[in-house]
Structure 1
Amino acid sequence: MITENAYAYMLHNVPGLGNKTLMKLLQEFGSCKNIFEADESLLKKIMTVKQFKAFALKKKQWNLEAEYEHLYNTGIDFYHYGSAGYPIRLLDIPDPPFALYCAGKLPDERRPSVSIIGARNSSEYGKFAAKLFGEKLASMGVQIISGMARGIDGISQQAAVYAGGDSYGVLGCGVDICYPEENRSLYDELISSGGVISEYLPGTQPKPQFFPPRNRIISGLSDVVLVIEAREKSGTLITVDMALEQGREVFALPGRICDSLSYGCNSLIRQGANIASSPEDIVDYLKRNLGKNVCKESSAIAGGSSQSGTESINASSTFGLSKTQEYIFNSLDFYPQTTSVIFEKLLSNGIEVTVAQVMNCLVELCIMGIVSQTGTGFYRRG
């Protein structure tokens, strides 16, 4: 018996039949099988001449059962709009995807989801925040959605996986293609413990024009969109616009007014976005406004203590350091500070240390890889 999914998969493979046309056809004829069997005159009222020719040729050449069985055997799941398993969150968004491909699994509809997005070339402050929010939210049972891109996306998703949580990457290419290649290990981990999702056919190579449309799926699968870092004119803000159009809540991480990577976030806050001062801000929103079942204690999944995320990260970062190294590390920020500023800060806190000791410890911390130097300034690595 040929399934409705087999008909939908064939339609999605017709060259030139875009998402909007496919959705019009589905709305007009009620099912993919009905589209496949529809009278030519009726199809031509919706399809262009070029689209109908492509449809007719594909219909003639396509083996419905064999092609769909081949897709099934690759381990890639296929869902079309309205079918069983298609994400409920996407049903009512503007321009919902006609089809979705998934390697791994789709997000659990019963659990809260937060998308964490931001700059590809993030600062140390942004990296720290992405790790903190990704780890803490995931450890409390929140599913993390993002685009698996370099920078904030990948960092937050990797932190979620390390915390033992579930994360899902929405791609601007086929789900059988890892992009960017540098996130190969994350890609493999997402397929094992979460999933990678795309509206593009398997084998589709990444192209710039594919990424803006996929952002509506990232925000659509989420209850909340969190922006970690974004320039004033940033692709990240495209996702924010889509999230607002979909009725999703937006949170933004505040930053210094002189940092270009925080211009976008500060602007969002000025326009009414929620301030993300800690992961608990988002958890409180999910529980208070959406009634989502969020575990308050991070130990429920991660098996850790109930420390705040900042304390937890500081503890792991300073493990094995001498007292002097630990004092100096904890005095550092994510913005460069000179040796003299660090020295004065230590003295004001009652820590007796010489300038030579400070300089030696800074060099040692740089060698360990937890501190970096730029010019005459030193800063903590995210």
Structure 2
Amino acid sequence: MEVEGMLLFSIMDGIGYQKQQILLNRFPDFAALMNADEKRLRDISVLSEKDVACILHHQRHPELLTDFRHKMKKEGIGYISREEKEYPARLKVLPDPPCGIFYKGRLPCPKTKQIAMVGARMCSPYGKKYAAEIAKALVGAGASVISGMARGVDGISQEAALDAGGETFGILAGGVDQIYPPEHRELYQRICENGGIISEYPPGIAPARGMFPRRNRIISALAEALIIIEARAKSGSLITGDFALEQGKDIFVLPGRLGDPLSVGCNAYIKQGAGIITSIEELLLELGLSSGKINEEKMKNNFALEKEDSLVYSCLRLVPKTLEELLEETKLPLLAVIESAQRLTDFGLAEEVYKNQYSRSR
């Protein structure tokens, strides 16, 4: 079905994956759905009165969907449906993949290793320290950090990733225009600029209790592995961990002291065979990441590089930069920047992540 139809499913409250599949089988395109009469809709047993009323309302007022898309565009909100190639492949394997995802900023790059980090909201100084250090090490080794932008470990790890020049993605339990918690407004803006805010819920939907567990399955699904930094016996982090196990993802936990309530959840996963974080270097190796020192060694040993290359390389970060940004920072001629970026790419020191957008190699 066209994007318009998938978007309609996304903004209709109560149209879950099973109902979507039935509707997609009955109506192969958006026009067929919009032209279906009331009797035909009521004959579909899984549709509630509310579902039928919503579809009929949109049939009578097609401008609503158009206005909704215009509002999204004005607010810088993108939408990718499950039918589009840009839809994250890792979400497609879920038993109930979102019909589409809304985002501000950008979506995770498929070429980049994505690691999820979650943990206690009221974390200890020990948890704060290692949440920050691990996040910095991950982005320094070329990975992106995925989390829920919550208080405590989530926010600390995402802040640290940004401070280290990396990128991070915040998965929300409400619309992407709903900053939650409200004190993370600055973090929200930074993530939009250096990563992205993602949700399966349409703009304008405030977060509610039942949305957080569903959000957690997206966090674990988008990541290759999950790191848990402190978790109580009953914790949202454990919900994310259980989803990760169901999805076949590796889990790594920060070990804690016996008798410490913040260590109960992590220690329970250790009993189930989760990886134990005993050193950050070993964690990076387990995740298939390097320590981030390799590129500097390459720079020293590549005598074929021109002097401009060091200048261009010094301006590159893990978050891609456009040619215009590199021109502004290096003050070099356009041709010199293009040739330098190409040499750095040829030597494996840089990547052209998007057209004419370069980052340090990951």
Q: TM-score, normalised by structure 2?
A: 0.75
| Residue aligned with 1:114, SS | strand
Hey, what does 1:47 align to over in structure 2? 47
2:223 equivalent to 1:225: no
* Distance in 1 of aligned mates of 2:93 and 2:109: 17
Deviation at 1:129, TM superposition (A): 0.9
1:185 maps to amino acid: E
Hey, what does 1:291 align to over in structure 2? none
1:196 maps to amino acid: I
| Residue aligned with 1:250, SS | strand
The equivalent position to 1:11 in structure 2, one of 9, 12, 23, is 9
Is the 8 Å Cα contact of residues 23 and 98 (structure 1) preserved in structure 2? no
Hey, what does 1:56 align to over in structure 2? 56
Hey, what does 1:258 align to over in structure 2? 259
| Residue aligned with 2:103, SS | strand
Deviation at 1:27, TM superposition (A): 5.3
| Residue aligned with 1:110, SS | coil
| C-alpha distance after superposition, 1:143-168 (max 9, x if no partner) | 10000000000000000001111100
Hey, what does 1:26 align to over in structure 2? 24
Is the 8 Å Cα contact of residues 10 and 201 (structure 2) preserved in structure 1? no
Hey, what does 1:275 align to over in structure 2? 276
Change in 2 beyond 3 A, CA 1:37/1:83:
farther
Is the 8 Å Cα contact of residues 11 and 201 (structure 2) preserved in structure 1? no
Once structures 1 and 2 are overlaid, which stretch shifts more, 10-19 or 93-102? 10-19
Deviation at 1:193, TM superposition (A): 0.5
In structure 2, stretches of 5+ residues that fail to align are 297-362
Hey, what does 2:239 align to over in structure 1? 238
| C-alpha distance after superposition, 1:332-356 (max 9, x if no partner) | xxxxxxxxxxxxxxxxxxxxxxxxx
Q: How does 1:33-112 map to 2 (within 5 A)?
A: 33-38=31-36, 43=41, 44-45=43-44, 46-63=46-63, 64-112=65-113
2:292 equivalent to 1:297: yes
2:57 maps to amino acid: L
Change in 2 beyond 3 A, CA 1:32/1:263:
farther
Hey, what does 1:207 align to over in structure 2? 208
Deviation at 1:140, TM superposition (A): 0.9
In structure 1, stretches of 5+ residues that fail to align are 288-293, 302-382
Deviation at 1:94, TM superposition (A): 2.0
Deviation at 1:295, TM superposition (A): 4.2
| Residue aligned with 1:95, SS | coil
* Distance in 2 of aligned mates of 1:190 and 1:17: 30
* Distance in 2 of aligned mates of 1:65 and 1:233: 43
Is the 8 Å Cα contact of residues 14 and 58 (structure 1) preserved in structure 2? no
Q: How does 1:353-364 map to 2 (within 5 A)?
A: none
Once structures 1 and 2 are overlaid, which stretch shifts more, 214-223 or 46-55? 46-55
Deviation at 1:37, TM superposition (A): 4.3
Is the 8 Å Cα contact of residues 231 and 238 (structure 2) preserved in structure 1? yes
* Distance in 1 of aligned mates of 2:114 and 2:214: 20
* Distance in 2 of aligned mates of 1:30 and 1:80: 15
Is the 8 Å Cα contact of residues 16 and 54 (structure 1) preserved in structure 2? no
Is the 8 Å Cα contact of residues 170 and 196 (structure 1) preserved in structure 2? yes
* Distance in 2 of aligned mates of 1:8 and 1:26: 9
* Distance in 2 of aligned mates of 1:89 and 1:103: 19
Deviation at 1:41, TM superposition (A): 5.4
* Distance in 1 of aligned mates of 2:141 and 2:132: 14
Change in 2 beyond 3 A, CA 1:298/1:131:
farther
* Distance in 2 of aligned mates of 1:50 and 1:206: 21
Deviation at 1:76, TM superposition (A): 0.3
* Distance in 2 of aligned mates of 1:71 and 1:201: 10
* Distance in 2 of aligned mates of 1:190 and 1:214: 17
* Distance in 1 of aligned mates of 2:236 and 2:143: 25
Change in 2 beyond 3 A, CA 1:24/1:246:
farther
Hey, what does 1:380 align to over in structure 2? none
* Distance in 1 of aligned mates of 2:9 and 2:55: 8
| Residue aligned with 2:287, SS | helix
Is the 8 Å Cα contact of residues 6 and 68 (structure 1) preserved in structure 2? no
Deviation at 1:32, TM superposition (A): 4.6
Change in 2 beyond 3 A, CA 1:172/1:15:
closer
* Distance in 1 of aligned mates of 2:184 and 2:92: 30
2:161 equivalent to 1:160: yes
Deviation at 1:62, TM superposition (A): 2.9
Aligned residues: 293
Change in 2 beyond 3 A, CA 1:298/1:239:
farther
2:128 maps to amino acid: K
Change in 2 beyond 3 A, CA 1:50/1:206:
closer
Hey, what does 1:360 align to over in structure 2? none
Deviation at 1:42, TM superposition (A): 5.3
Deviation at 1:29, TM superposition (A): 4.0
* Distance in 1 of aligned mates of 2:88 and 2:244: 16
Q: Give the RMSD, CA atoms, in angstroms.
A: 2.2
Who wins on radius of gyration, i.e. which is larger?
1
Change in 2 beyond 3 A, CA 1:50/1:204:
closer
Deviation at 1:185, TM superposition (A): 1.2
Instruction: Report sequence identity in percent.
Output: 40
